[in-house]
Structure 1
Amino acid sequence: MKKISGYIFTCLLLCCYAITSAQSYSGEQIKEDLAVLKNDIEKYHPAPFKYISKDQYKHLYDSIAATIKGRLTLREAYFAFLPLVQSIGCGHTHMMLDRRLLTKSASASEKPKYFPFSVRLINNQLLVSRNYSADKKITRGTEIVEIDGQPVKKILENLERNSFYSGDGINPNARKYYTIREFRKLYYLWKGEQDFFTISYRKPGTDKPKTIKIEAKDSYFMEKMLETRYPDVDEDTTGMVSYKVIDSTRKVALVDVRSFMYDFQNMKRANFEGETKKIFRKLQENKIENLILDLRGNSGGLLEYSTFLLRYFTNQPFDAYRLGFRDESLQRLKQDYKKYDGKFAREAATRLSAEFSVRDSDGFLESKYSRKQRPHDEFRYSNNVYVLMNGGTFSAAALLVSKLHNMGVGTYVGMSCGGAYDGCSAAQFSTIQLPNTSLEISLPLGRILYNIDSKKYDKPILYPDFEVKANLEDFLNNEDTVLKFTLDLIKNKIKVR
């Protein structure tokens, strides 16, 4: 009880440093929102007690409610609710970033100003990866020691504890990954908007830190700075999959699968299947003996893309996954569809009822259609596979990793996977909007089981065969430590599967 209460108190205390919005909410309003949040998670989430018991969840709720004495600002309310959302250990369930917390005013035209650096955490040192500020003194590899008088260690602990993204289950590596990836927004969320940052930094090869005052910048300025200062940096996030031969002597190719996402920019499916087929044709034409499949930072997307890729690595039909809904979740999904006018929305709700009509032993309504997948007829790959993964390998990418591993395919290098090994809560989503603060929570409604054999691997997340972290020398030389290690494995003909 004391441990949980202390944790909640710390979360609330962090907000005292932040610039708060003018509006505040009574203790009664906050408690009402908290109760709605608790009840909706219990009612609609497909597996709220997979990683926490119902009693622990109730105990945490009571502890949070007990800390609410008087009025809270919006930012304080956000941090008060966050531990309850985090507690269920679902990487697809998260507090959504409210624009009111990312700007000084309600104006849609106002752009929030952020900490103007991309950072990496190497050997517990926070290092500058790219400098988007107007000041050129801070170069790649510069260690940030303090920000506004706060030691980096304390900052990272606070941001990690209050990250709105995380992996599945008890997954510290995934939480660290998202803390660094979302560093700018998390720092803003914690401290509020600042015009300047006072930074204590240390250049590579020096001992004594220096101090500099850096102006905060909005995303538009930083994008322009990226184009001018880093013209050779590949920032293409629309290219989903790429291929290149990196060692023709040892017949090594790298396939980088960045995403399985739907093309939201053009509101259509990307040509993932077509591009992937071309790649596997090239693997065969070039007689590739060692394939490096890079899934680091792949946060998932369409399950169909993941299973399409998986079909190149097997010669037997397989069950891809099982998708099911609780009665309440399916009903909420239908109601969400009905909020939209038009024939399509009505037909979608009707199709849900017709398709999800088979009740399993756990009481979930599953699809009546088989998800049996057969191998591709051509260009199947059966040589050595090395899979690169990290805390950002999540959702549909975690499905691919789990299925490959369970099928006995691949040697796994990097850091632990961000997604659970046996399945996740995803597929369809709904938004909980709290009645008083209007804060929103993204909530998955579907339960996805990966149909893996737990006798082959019984841990909740997949750990690599070879854990490899980036090192400082490689970072300063702009080299990929994990890829170098994998190439060394191939050179020495080392593989696990």
Structure 2
Amino acid sequence: MKIGGILLLASLSLGAFCSVANGQTISPAQARADFSYLKHKIDQLHPGVGYYTPKPKMERLYDSLYNGLTAPVEYLKFYQHISPYVAALKDGHTNLNHRKNYIGKNTRFIPFYIRPVNDTYYISHNVSADTSLQRGTELLTINGRTVADLHQELMEADRSGSDGDNSSGRRQWSLVQFADYYAAWYGSSDSISITYKLKGDTLVRQTRLKCPSLNNFRTTIRRRYGVEINQPSNLSVRIVDTLTHTAVLRVSTFMGLKKKDPFQWAFNRKLKQAFKQIREQNVQNLIVDMQGNGGGIVLNSARLLRYWMPKPFQIMAHEEMKRAARAELVARWNPISMLNFSLQYKSDKTGGFASRSTQHRYRPRKKDAFAGNLYFLMNGASFSAATSVMAKTLDAGIGTFVGEACGSAYWGDFAGHFKTITLPNTRIQVRMPLKKLTHAVNESCANGFTVEPDFTASRTFEDLMNNRDYTLEYALRLIRQGIVARQPVRQHPMQASQASMNLNHTLQE
């Protein structure tokens, strides 16, 4: 899963050296061999084939794309050609990545961040040499195509971070990482032509801008926007309103805090410190900010849940994998890995394997447990383990959710262990999950395919100009007016009162 940062290389892969140079053509035989290899590996290993897109439809799509490989094709065109097949899985944990070094130090990126207000796109951060393109400049076209058209194409091309037909994840990631997505899909370009309108002006202008390298992009954005791009550290607590005793707990990831920490003790220690601070400062309204949290280690998500869940709980009801996945987890030369697999998994009725540990129940914490009002900040980039936390909380009938629908499904996802395959000729890589993880939740408690917000927050032009966290501002208004969707520590979900829901429209700017 791609995690947010200053500028991420969404298509940077970890494959071996590629024998096909940029711009070099691939023969029809090589292209068909690579595509056939890709399909074989997906059928063999991916636990979600046929789940979101029926298998017959997947087969027809494959045949159509395979039969279209009748002439020599350039590398990037081939990458684009096979993308619809990977995208048809509709699995946010499956990523189609370029070969190693296709995206690198010589790649040039679009020189700005783009943020939407309703259906209009604006420049929010500019790293080009043209400093007149200040925040609030309306961006109309890039190289002759409307930004809306480009955005839609990139959303369809890469479904990373978004499961099923849910579009919030694809929309969020393709905008946050627009420069990366653009370079990955259309290739690197030394310059681009844009049309735009300056803030407060109706005149449509046109200019050509040089595209910076990754290092130049990072250097410039730190110099121009250093304060803005510095985000609170993971698991940090800050008091935001003393009158209402409100604090924000920033949970940016469930990945480990240290590289060598198999039991995640560092994460657990920092989590304990955070909730000790919350108790000592008499926090009564806790805002858990999981915007942009792409997930991580399930154990860490369970540890967070222990601070507010009302009774012992499971995270997953089932964990399953195909039989062929065993070979990816067991090394023949290592008898310990064989023993470990046997201890963790058992054969199931489908011919694959199921985890033995899903029945493990986590006990709520007594010390420093939080019993006040919980508010969750969420967006499309709240994915995987972040969705697990919100799904379990919703299932327990706790919390008020603010923002937009998160990226994963309420029922669960395809994740756990991963395998990266490298196509033999083009060296294109596909990273796919090996396990199907089903949340231990009641289907009747769902409020949508994914976890939907109780109160939808959307950006205004004023939010854009002030670089304001509009979702946080919305949550603070709810708290000041005493509005909750679900009362604390209830064991059955309760929808927001009609009076509260009627205020939803008036609270939005």
> Normalising by structure 2, what TM-score?
0.86
Query: Once the two structures are superposed, what CA deviation does each residue of 1:364-386 show, in whole Å capped at 9, x if it has no partner?
Result: 32225742111113111121111
326, 330, 352: which one pairs with 2:322?
326
Change beyond 3 A, Cα 1:302–1:43: same
- Give me the whole-angstrom Cα distance separating, in 2, the residues matched to 1:477 and 1:250: 24
Cα displacement (A) at 1:44: 0.7
The equivalences for 1:24-39 within 5 A come to 24-39=25-40
Contact 1:358/1:367 (8 A) holds in 2:
no
Cα displacement (A) at 1:411: 0.9
Cα displacement (A) at 1:22: 3.1
- Give me the whole-angstrom Cα distance separating, in 1, the residues matched to 2:186 and 2:97: 17
Contact 1:25/1:73 (8 A) holds in 2:
yes
1:352 matched to 2:353:
no
Cα displacement (A) at 1:128: 1.4
Give the match for residue 161 of structure 1. 156
Give the match for residue 441 of structure 1. 430
The equivalences for 1:82-481 within 5 A come to 82-99=83-100, 101-102=102-103, 110-163=105-158, 165-235=160-230, 239-263=233-257, 269=264, 271-321=266-316, 322-335=318-331, 347-357=336-346, 359=348, 364-368=353-357, 370-457=359-446, 459-481=448-470
Contact 2:394/2:445 (8 A) holds in 1:
no
Other structure's SS at 1:232 match? helix
Contact 2:329/2:337 (8 A) holds in 1:
no
Contact 1:360/1:366 (8 A) holds in 2:
no
Q: Which amino acid aligns with 1:327?
A: R
Cα displacement (A) at 1:363: 5.0
Q: Which amino acid aligns with 1:487?
A: L
- Give me the whole-angstrom Cα distance separating, in 2, the residues matched to 1:176 and 1:75: 23
473, 479, 489: which one pairs with 1:490?
479
Cα displacement (A) at 1:212: 2.1
Other structure's SS at 1:113 match? coil
- Give me the whole-angstrom Cα distance separating, in 2, the residues matched to 1:225 and 1:368: 48
- Give me the whole-angstrom Cα distance separating, in 1, the residues matched to 2:378 and 2:447: 19
Cα displacement (A) at 1:496: 1.0
1:54 matched to 2:55:
yes
Cα displacement (A) at 1:267: 7.7
Q: Which amino acid aligns with 2:455?
A: F
> Normalising by structure 1, what TM-score?
0.88
Query: Once the two structures are superposed, what CA deviation does each residue of 1:277-324 show, in whole Å capped at 9, x if it has no partner?
Result: 112112222221211111110000111111100000123111121433
Give the match for residue 23 of structure 1. 24
Q: Which amino acid aligns with 2:74?
A: T
Change beyond 3 A, Cα 1:358–1:58: closer
Give the match for residue 17 of structure 1. none
Q: Which amino acid aligns with 1:55?
A: P
Cα displacement (A) at 1:347: 2.9
Other structure's SS at 1:31 match? helix
- Give me the whole-angstrom Cα distance separating, in 2, the residues matched to 1:129 and 1:426: 33
Cα displacement (A) at 1:265: 6.4
Cα displacement (A) at 1:264: 6.8
Other structure's SS at 1:34 match? helix
Other structure's SS at 1:50 match? coil
Cα displacement (A) at 1:100: 5.0
- Give me the whole-angstrom Cα distance separating, in 2, the residues matched to 1:346 and 1:299: 34
- Give me the whole-angstrom Cα distance separating, in 1, the residues matched to 2:106 and 2:440: 45
Give the match for residue 45 of structure 1. 46
Other structure's SS at 2:256 match? coil
Cα displacement (A) at 1:361: 7.3
Paired-residue identity, %: 28
Change beyond 3 A, Cα 1:143–1:349: farther
Give the match for residue 9 of structure 1. none
RMSD across aligned positions (CA): 2.2
Query: Once the two structures are superposed, what CA deviation does each residue of 1:459-492 show, in whole Å capped at 9, x if it has no partner?
Result: 4212111111111111112222211111111111
Contact 1:145/1:201 (8 A) holds in 2:
yes
Contact 2:99/2:426 (8 A) holds in 1:
no
User: Which deviates more from structure 2 when the two are superposed, residues 161-170 or residues 309-318?
Assistant: 161-170
Query: Once the two structures are superposed, what CA deviation does each residue of 1:341-393 show, in whole Å capped at 9, x if it has no partner?
Result: 9xxx6633431233212636785322257421111131111211111111100
Contact 2:346/2:353 (8 A) holds in 1:
no
Query: Once the two structures are superposed, what CA deviation does each residue of 1:157-182 show, in whole Å capped at 9, x if it has no partner?
Result: 22222226241111112111111122
Change beyond 3 A, Cα 1:283–1:100: closer
Cα displacement (A) at 1:21: 2.6
- Give me the whole-angstrom Cα distance separating, in 2, the residues matched to 1:130 and 1:323: 42
- Give me the whole-angstrom Cα distance separating, in 2, the residues matched to 1:134 and 1:385: 45
Change beyond 3 A, Cα 1:32–1:488: same
- Give me the whole-angstrom Cα distance separating, in 2, the residues matched to 1:249 and 1:153: 42
Cα displacement (A) at 1:256: 1.2
User: How many residue pairs are counted as aligned between the two chains?
Assistant: 464
- Give me the whole-angstrom Cα distance separating, in 2, the residues matched to 1:68 and 1:37: 14
Query: Once the two structures are superposed, what CA deviation does each residue of 1:89-144 show, in whole Å capped at 9, x if it has no partner?
Result: 111111023245436xxxxxx43111111221222222112112233121112111
Contact 2:161/2:294 (8 A) holds in 1:
no
Q: Which amino acid aligns with 1:323?
A: E
Change beyond 3 A, Cα 1:371–1:51: same
- Give me the whole-angstrom Cα distance separating, in 2, the residues matched to 1:266 and 1:141: 44
